[in-house]
């Protein structure tokens, strides 16, 4: 769906991540819808939500700019360590849960909670990709499916999301976060 580039913000002399959506995704979303959804999600200010610094269009591709997180994704850590301690899994789950509660209070459902969208920045977990997940949901599953793009990751989808229900609320994100928590747990210590 997208390619992420490491870049330097020369105006503020800092590293940033630039996420460039594929041409297909950009065409399906449309520049105006993308702009509106990014505006909605930039209003989310929470220590466990990766903010969007800027967005725009370059040629046929839409992009947005986020702070660069020097850590790693939860997926990369799980690939390396296979599981986390219960304390670490609970900490990450609680931090992302706080971010989701905040977003849900503002009427925004993420719709794509998965280890790839959770970044570990030192001792802090941050949730990424609010803008694109929300914008894609507004386009509608039928238009996305026609282009071969699916919204969400089957392993982490709630049953209502997997059955393509039109209206989802925060409970869908909570279900997905529970799936992520299950993946993090060191199953040997649960017995």
- 72 bridge partner residues: 120
Q: Could you say which of 112, 129, 173, 183 is catalytic?
A: 112
pLDDT of the residue at 129: 85
Told to judge if 112 belongs to the known catalytic residues of this protein, a careful annotator would answer yes
pLDDT of the residue at 191: 44
Q: What is the residue whose two structure tokens read 């209206």?
A: 167
CA 118 to chain CA centroid, Å, is 7
Per-residue pLDDT of the chain (191 residues; tens, 9 = 90+): 789 999 999 999 999 999 999 888 888 888 888 888 888 888 899 999 999 999 999 888 899 999 999 999 999 999 999 999 999 999 999 999 999 999 999 988 888 899 999 999 999 999 998 766 656 655 554 444 444 444 567 889 899 888 877 778 999 999 999 999 999 996 555 44
| DSSP 8-state code for residue 82 | S
- 16 bridge partner residues: 7, 67
Strand ranges for 10-135 from DSSP E? 14-21, 54-58, 61-67, 72-73, 118-121, 124-127
pLDDT of the residue at 188: 54
CA dihedral 32, 35, 41, 43 (to 10 degrees): -120
Contact 120, 72 (CB under 8 A): yes
CB within 8 A of 90, min separation 6: which ones? 181
């Amino acid at each position: 769906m997208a390619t992420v580039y490491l870049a330097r913000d020369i105006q503020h002399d800092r590293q940033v991540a630039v996420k460039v959506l594929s041409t297909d995704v950009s065409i399906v979303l449309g520049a105006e819808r993308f702009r509106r959804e990014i505006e909605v999600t930039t209003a989310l200010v929470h220590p466990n939500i990766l903010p969007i610094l800027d967005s725009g269009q370059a040629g046929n591709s839409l992009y947005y700019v986020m702070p660069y997180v020097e850590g790693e994704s939860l997926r990369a850590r799980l690939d390396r360590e296979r599981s986390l301690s219960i304390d670490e899994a609970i900490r990450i789950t609680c931090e992302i849960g706080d971010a989701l509660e905040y977003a849900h209070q503002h009427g925004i459902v993420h719709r794509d909670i998965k280890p790839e969208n959770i970044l570990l920045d030192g001792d802090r977990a941050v949730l990424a990709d609010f803008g694109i997940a929300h914008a894609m949901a507004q386009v509608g599953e039928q238009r996305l499916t026609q282009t071969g793009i699916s919204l969400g990751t089957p392993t982490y989808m709630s049953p209502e999301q997997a059955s393509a229900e039109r209206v989802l609320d925060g409970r869908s994100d909570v279900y997905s976060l529970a799936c992520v928590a299950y993946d993090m747990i060191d199953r040997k210590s649960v017995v």
